[in-house]
Structure 1
Amino acid sequence: MEYQALYRAFRPQTFEDVVGQKHVTKTLRNAIVRDKESHAYLFSGPRGTGKTSIAKIFAKALNCRFGSGGEPCNECDICMSITDGSANDVIEIDAASNNGVDEIRNIREKVKYAPSEARYKVYIIDEVHMLTTGAFNALLKTLEEPPGHAIFILATTEPHKIPATIISRCQRFDFKAIELNEIVSRLEYVARSESLEYDKDAIEYIARTSEGGMRDALSIMDQVIAYSNDVITLEDAVMITGGIRSEELNEWLKLIDHRDSREAFMKYHQFIEEGKDPTRLVHELVYYIRDIILMKHAGEMDDDIAFAHTEDKVLYEMIDVLNDAMVMMRFSVNTSVHLEVVIVKLIQVLNNNDRSIEPQAMDLSHIEQKLAELDKKLSSQQQVSATPAPEPQNRSVNQSSKGFSLRQIEKVLDHANKEDLVKLKDDWPKVYQHVEEKGLQALRSLIKDSEPVAASDTHVLLKFNSDVHSDLINKDEKKRQELEAVIPSIIGKEVTVVGVPDSSWLQVRHDYIQEKKASKQKQSAGDDKKPSDVAKEIFGSDVVETRS
C-alpha cells in the first residue's frame, strides 16, 4: 500500500477519536441518539480543527445500521463507503471550485430524489463562503424547504462572509483552536503508533508552531520524520519550520534589552542567512514575551532571561509592536525589512520607558506635602521653646538653614516696587506654560505651586507652598538658571530668582517691615513718611493692612 500522509492516515473515524471540539461531538451524538437531527448545520472555525472530519463522522453515524450511542461502527458497507469517499448518498462539494449558480441548481434538482442506499442524503459543502451571491440565493430556497431525507453540512473558515439568511436556517457550531496539551497527546500517540523515537521538547515545539490546528501539526511532524529518518528532535523541528531555538532567541533579545542595535541587526541577519523565516521569527518573539509575562506572575523568573526586569506595561507595548508588524507582513513583499524596523521599535519602546522614569521620580508632591507639614510642626515646637530672637545677622544664618537666605530676600525687598510685581503676577501663567511647552518636566513640577510676591528690575521673589521646592530653587543653580532663562522671554527683562517658603513668608515680611519702621524712626523729624506707606510701595495696598 502506498504511503499516506499522517493527517490522512490518522484522521478520526469516530466522535471519540476527535481531539478537542467536545462541545460539538457531544451535541451531535445526543442528536442522533434522540433522533433530533436538524436539516442544516454550519461548522465554522480555524483551519485544521476537524470541521470536515466531524462532518463525515456525522454522516456515517446518521446512516450506520449497527451504530450505538451515536457512534458509527466503521465496519458496515455504508460506513466503509463513506470513509473511502465512494458513497453515492454522501456528496462532498468544494465551493471554492464549484461556486456558481449552476452547481447549486444541480444540487436542487437532485436533492429531491430519495437516497439509494443510506437513510439520509448528506451534502457536505466545504469553504461555503466562496459561493457567489446568486449561488447563495439558490441554496437559500433549498434550505427553506428541504426534503426530509436531506441534510446539509456547510463548513467555512470565514463565517462573516455568509449571508445572515443562510446562517439563521442552520444550527451553528463554532470550532475552537485545539489546546496545546491535546495536540501534544495526539502527536505522541501518532509517534508511538508509527514506532518513532521523539523528544518531548520537539513534540511540544511542533504543537506550538501549529497554532491550534491538528492538521498543521501532523503535516509538520510528517516533514520532520522525512528529514530526520524517523527520529523527531527539537533541532530538526526548528530547522524544518524556519523557527529559532529558545536559547538563541534569548541571546538575541538580550541584545535588544541592552539597546545594542548594531549587534541585534547582525544577529538577525545571521538568522536570515541560515534560512529562518521572518514571519516565524515574529511569532516566536510574541510567544517569548508572553512566556516572560507568565513567568513573572508565577514567580519563576530567571535573571538570565532577557527583559526579566522590564515592567509589564512595557512588555505589553512590545507585543503591540509585534502584532502590528505581523499584520503588515501579510501584505508585504519584503518581510525582512519589517522585522528590521521591529528591532528599532522595540529598542525605542525601552528607551521611552527609561525617559519616563525621570519625571516620575521628580513628582514627589505627596511626599513633599508631608515633609512640609512636619516642618511646620517642628517650627511651631521650636518657637514655643525658643530663646529670645537673635540679632538680624544671626537670624539670616538661622533662616538659611531652613532653605532660604533672609539677606537675599532683603536685597529683593529693598528695591521692590508694585509695578514690576503686578506685571509679573499677570504674566506668571505664561511662564508656567512656556516651561511646559519646552518639555522641562522637572522644572514644571518645581514651579507649579509658586507665586511671585515681590519684584524689582533685577530680582524676583517667589513664594513656594513646599519648603523643599523653595530650598531647591535657592540651592540648585541649574534649575534656577533654567527658570531665569525662561522669564525674560515673557516679561522682557533679566532677573535673579530668590525663593521663600509659604510657611515662613508672613514672618519674614513682618520682620522686614518692623526693621524698616525702626530705621525710619531714627531718621530726621522732617521725614514724615509712615512705615505703612513703605510697605504699600513694595507689596501694594491690596496686601498690606494698616492697623492703629
Structure 2
Amino acid sequence: MAYQALYRVWRPQTFSDVIGQDVITQTLRNAVASNMTSHAYLFSGPRGTGKTSCAKILAKAVNCLNPQDGEPCNECEICLAANENRLNDVIEIDAASNNGVEEIRDIRDKVKYAPTEAKYKVYIIDEVHMLSQGAFNALLKTLEEPPANVMFILATTEPQKIPATIISRTQSFNFRRISKQDILKRMIFILNDKNIKYDEEGLDIIAASAEGGMRDALSILDQALSYGDDELTLKNAQEVTGALSNEQIVSYMTAIAENKPAQALTSLYQILESGRSALRFTEMIIRVCRNLILYNSNSDLSKQMDSSVMTKELLAIADKFDNKRLFYIVDQVSATQKNLKNSNQTDIYMEILTVKISEPQVASSVEPVENDSVDNEVIDKLRDEVSHLQNEVKDLSNGTPVTKSSSKPKPHHRANNNTRLNKTAIYKVLGNATKNDLVAARDMWPELMSMLSISQRAMMRVAQPVAASSEGIVVAFDYAMWFEQVQDDSDFLQSLTDNASKLLKKDCQIVLVPKVDWPKIRKEYIDNNIDSTKKNTVKSNKETKKTDPTVDEALKLFGDDIVDVKND
C-alpha cells in the first residue's frame, strides 16, 4: 500500500480521539446518545482544528448500528463503509468547486429520496462560505424545512461570510485553536506508537510553528521525519520550520543588548542568508522579549518562561535589558511585522528594525518627558503661532483678507527636513544636469556601496541617484529618517563625496534629499527658471518700446502694468 501522510493515518475516528475540543465533542456525543441531534450544524474555526473530522464522526455516530454512549463503534457494516469512503448516504461536497445554484438545486432535489443503506442521509459541505448568494438562497428553504431523514453539516473557516439567515437555522459550534501542550501530547503519542526517536525541543518548535492546527503540526512532523531519516532532531525541526538556531538568536540579541548596530546587522545578514524567514525571525524576537520580561518581573512569572527559548546564554544577557527597552523592541517589531506581510522588501525592513532597536539613543528616547524639560524652542514656536492667529482674527474683524497659505502652519517635522536641505547645491546640480551624467552615476553606485561599512551600506540601500551633472549628484532617500541621519553625519557625507570623486575621476559633490520632497524641489527649480526667463524677456521688450517718446509719456503717466504696447 502507498505511504499515507500522518494526518490521514491518525485522523480521529471517534469523538474521544479529537484533540482540544472537549466541550464540542461532549455536546455532540450527548446529542447522539439521547437521540436529540439537529437537522443542521455549522462547524467554524481555524484550519486543522477538527471540523471535518467531527463532521465525519457525527455522520457515522447517527448511523452506527451499535453506538456506545454516543460514539460510533467503528466495527459495524455502516462504520466500516464510512471509514472507507464508500457509504453512499454520507455525501461530502467541496463548496469551493461546487458553489453554483445548480449544484445546490441538485442537492435539494435529491434530499427527497430516502437513504439507501443508513438511517440518515448526511451532507457535509466543506468551505461553505464559498457558495454564491444564489446558492445560499437555494439552500435556505431546504435547511428551513428538511426531510426527517436528512442532516446537513456545514464547515467553514470564515463564518462571517455566511448569511445570518443560514446561521440561524443551524446549531453553531466554534472550534478554537488547539493549545501547544495538546499538540505536543498528540505528537509524542504518535511517535511513541511508531517507536521513533525524537528531541523534545524539536517537537516544541513544531508545535509552536503549527499555530494551533493539529493537521499542520502533523504535516510538519512528517516532513521533519523524512528530512531526518525517521528521526526527529532539533536541527531537523529548525531547518524544516525555518526557526532560528540558539546560536543565531543569541548572537543577534547580544549585539542589540550591547548597542552595536554593525554587529547586529552582520548577524542579521547571516540569518537571512541561511534561508530563515524574516517573519519567523520577528516572531522569535518577540518570544525572547516576552521571556526576558517575565524573567525580569518576579519569581512567580519567571516560572512561565519558555525553556526551549530561554537558553543559558540569553539569561546571561538578561540584565542588560530593562523592561522599558523590551517593550520598545516589541512595539518596533510588531510594527515591522505588518510591513513584512505587505511588502517584498523584507531585507530593508529588517535592516531598519535592527538599527532602530540597537542604537544607543533608543534607551533615552523611550524615557517619559517631564513638563519642566520641554524644549524652549517648541514653547516659543507655539507662542508665535498663537500670536499669528490673534493677528489674523484682528485682520478679519477689520475686513482685511487673510491668505490661505498663512492660515495653516507647516508641520514641525517637515520644517526640520527643509532646514537640512541644501537647495543651493541641488539647484546647482539641476542647472547642468544631463542624462549621461545620471547614467554614469547609477552605474558607479554599486561600486560606491561596496566601499562602505556594513552599517553605512544598510542606510544607503534605501537611496539612489535621481539627478547628476559634471559637478555633483543628487541622491534621494526613501525614508526621511535615513536622510536625516546621513545628512547630520558630516564625516560620512564627506566620505561619500570623496569616494564618488575617486570612482568618477573628477570632483563630484554628493547632495542629499528625501524622496518625498524631490518632485516638489524639482518643480520649484523649473518654475523659477521659467519665471526668470519671462521677466528677462519682458524687460527686454519694454526697453525696446521706450524708444518711442509717446510711449515713454504714457508709461510715465499710467505705469508699466497698465500700458500695453503693440507693434504695428
- Fold match (TM-score > 0.5): yes
1:85 aligned onto 2:85: yes
Could you tell me how far apart the structure 2 residues matched to 1:316 and 1:433 are?
26
1:340 aligned onto 2:282: no
1:41 aligned onto 2:64: no
Could you tell me how far apart the structure 1 residues matched to 2:67 and 2:144 are?
30
1:331 aligned onto 2:342: yes
1:267 aligned onto 2:277: no
Amino acid at match of 1:97: S
Aligned residue for 1:437? 379
Instruction: For residue 438 of structure 1, report the CA deviation from its aligned partner.
Output: 7.1
Could you tell me how far apart the structure 1 residues matched to 2:297 and 2:74 are?
48
1:285 aligned onto 2:285: yes
1:310 aligned onto 2:252: no
Amino acid at match of 1:200: E
Aligned residue for 1:180? 180
Could you tell me how far apart the structure 1 residues matched to 2:357 and 2:76 are?
60
3-state SS, counterpart of residue 187 of structure 2: helix
Could you tell me how far apart the structure 1 residues matched to 2:9 and 2:18 are?
14
Is this contact kept in 1: 2:41–2:152, CA < 8 A?
Answer: yes
3-state SS, counterpart of residue 49 of structure 2: coil
> Residue 132 and residue 252 in structure 1: after superposition, are their counterparts in 2 closer, same or farther (change >3 A)?
same
1:147 aligned onto 2:147: yes
Is this contact kept in 2: 1:41–1:171, CA < 8 A?
Answer: yes
> Residue 30 and residue 140 in structure 1: after superposition, are their counterparts in 2 closer, same or farther (change >3 A)?
same
Amino acid at match of 2:379: E
> Residue 193 and residue 175 in structure 1: after superposition, are their counterparts in 2 closer, same or farther (change >3 A)?
same
Could you tell me how far apart the structure 1 residues matched to 2:61 and 2:7 are?
21
Aligned residue for 2:232? 232
Taking structure 1 as the reference length, the TM-score comes to 0.64
Is this contact kept in 1: 2:224–2:240, CA < 8 A?
Answer: yes
Amino acid at match of 2:258: H
Instruction: For residue 60 of structure 1, report the CA deviation from its aligned partner.
Output: 0.7
Taking structure 2 as the reference length, the TM-score comes to 0.61
> Residue 62 and residue 296 in structure 1: after superposition, are their counterparts in 2 closer, same or farther (change >3 A)?
farther
Could you tell me how far apart the structure 2 residues matched to 1:147 and 1:181 are?
43
Runs of 5+ unmatched residues, structure 2: 306-311, 382-568
Tell me the alpha carbon deviations over residues 288-345 of structure 1, each in whole angstroms, 9 at most, x when there is no partner.
2222233333534977455545344543343333333333323323333332233234
Is this contact kept in 2: 1:243–1:276, CA < 8 A?
Answer: yes
> Residue 108 and residue 318 in structure 1: after superposition, are their counterparts in 2 closer, same or farther (change >3 A)?
farther
> Residue 111 and residue 352 in structure 1: after superposition, are their counterparts in 2 closer, same or farther (change >3 A)?
same
Structure of larger gyration radius:
1
Tell me the alpha carbon deviations over residues 190-211 of structure 1, each in whole angstroms, 9 at most, x when there is no partner.
1111110011111111111111
> Residue 26 and residue 251 in structure 1: after superposition, are their counterparts in 2 closer, same or farther (change >3 A)?
same
> Residue 356 and residue 179 in structure 1: after superposition, are their counterparts in 2 closer, same or farther (change >3 A)?
closer
Could you tell me how far apart the structure 2 residues matched to 1:289 and 1:278 are?
17
Could you tell me how far apart the structure 2 residues matched to 1:88 and 1:267 are?
59
Could you tell me how far apart the structure 1 residues matched to 2:37 and 2:368 are?
67
Could you tell me how far apart the structure 1 residues matched to 2:294 and 2:208 are?
16
Could you tell me how far apart the structure 1 residues matched to 2:57 and 2:76 are?
14
Could you tell me how far apart the structure 2 residues matched to 1:73 and 1:272 are?
52
1:51 aligned onto 2:51: yes
Calculate percent identity across the aligned residue pairs: 47
> Residue 159 and residue 354 in structure 1: after superposition, are their counterparts in 2 closer, same or farther (change >3 A)?
same
3-state SS, counterpart of residue 197 of structure 1: coil
Tell me the alpha carbon deviations over residues 270-291 of structure 1, each in whole angstroms, 9 at most, x when there is no partner.
1121111212212222222222
Is this contact kept in 2: 1:49–1:176, CA < 8 A?
Answer: yes
Could you tell me how far apart the structure 1 residues matched to 2:241 and 2:318 are?
26
Amino acid at match of 2:5: A
> Residue 337 and residue 147 in structure 1: after superposition, are their counterparts in 2 closer, same or farther (change >3 A)?
farther
Amino acid at match of 2:98: N
> Residue 438 and residue 231 in structure 1: after superposition, are their counterparts in 2 closer, same or farther (change >3 A)?
farther
Instruction: For residue 45 of structure 1, report the CA deviation from its aligned partner.
Output: 1.0
Amino acid at match of 1:128: V
Could you tell me how far apart the structure 2 residues matched to 1:227 and 1:15 are?
32
3-state SS, counterpart of residue 27 of structure 2: helix
> Residue 54 and residue 294 in structure 1: after superposition, are their counterparts in 2 closer, same or farther (change >3 A)?
farther
Over 6 Å off, 4+ runs: none
Instruction: For residue 17 of structure 1, report the CA deviation from its aligned partner.
Output: 0.9
1:67 aligned onto 2:67: yes
Is this contact kept in 1: 2:251–2:267, CA < 8 A?
Answer: no
Could you tell me how far apart the structure 2 residues matched to 1:433 and 1:228 are?
61
Instruction: For residue 99 of structure 1, report the CA deviation from its aligned partner.
Output: 1.2
Amino acid at match of 1:328: N
1:156 aligned onto 2:156: yes
Could you tell me how far apart the structure 1 residues matched to 2:141 and 2:65 are?
31
Could you tell me how far apart the structure 2 residues matched to 1:116 and 1:309 are?
72
Could you tell me how far apart the structure 2 residues matched to 1:260 and 1:251 are?
11
> Residue 256 and residue 98 in structure 1: after superposition, are their counterparts in 2 closer, same or farther (change >3 A)?
same
> Residue 78 and residue 164 in structure 1: after superposition, are their counterparts in 2 closer, same or farther (change >3 A)?
same
3-state SS, counterpart of residue 99 of structure 2: coil
Aligned residue for 2:420? none
Q: How does 1:189-268 map to 2 (within 5 A)?
A: 189-268=189-268
Is this contact kept in 2: 1:250–1:306, CA < 8 A?
Answer: no
Is this contact kept in 2: 1:251–1:306, CA < 8 A?
Answer: no
Amino acid at match of 1:334: Q
How many residue pairs align between the two structures? Answer: 371
Amino acid at match of 1:65: L
Instruction: For residue 225 of structure 1, report the CA deviation from its aligned partner.
Output: 0.6
3-state SS, counterpart of residue 232 of structure 1: coil
> Residue 105 and residue 60 in structure 1: after superposition, are their counterparts in 2 closer, same or farther (change >3 A)?
same
1:110 aligned onto 2:121: no
Amino acid at match of 2:200: K
Q: How does 1:111-150 map to 2 (within 5 A)?
A: 111-150=111-150
> Residue 434 and residue 202 in structure 1: after superposition, are their counterparts in 2 closer, same or farther (change >3 A)?
closer
> Residue 40 and residue 346 in structure 1: after superposition, are their counterparts in 2 closer, same or farther (change >3 A)?
farther
> Residue 273 and residue 352 in structure 1: after superposition, are their counterparts in 2 closer, same or farther (change >3 A)?
closer
> Residue 317 and residue 162 in structure 1: after superposition, are their counterparts in 2 closer, same or farther (change >3 A)?
farther
Runs of 5+ unmatched residues, structure 1: 364-431, 440-548
Is this contact kept in 2: 1:255–1:261, CA < 8 A?
Answer: yes
Tell me the alpha carbon deviations over residues 348-380 of structure 1, each in whole angstroms, 9 at most, x when there is no partner.
6x74442454856988xxxxxxxxxxxxxxxxx
Could you tell me how far apart the structure 1 residues matched to 2:42 and 2:210 are?
24
Could you tell me how far apart the structure 2 residues matched to 1:56 and 1:140 are?
23
Instruction: For residue 132 of structure 1, report the CA deviation from its aligned partner.
Output: 1.3
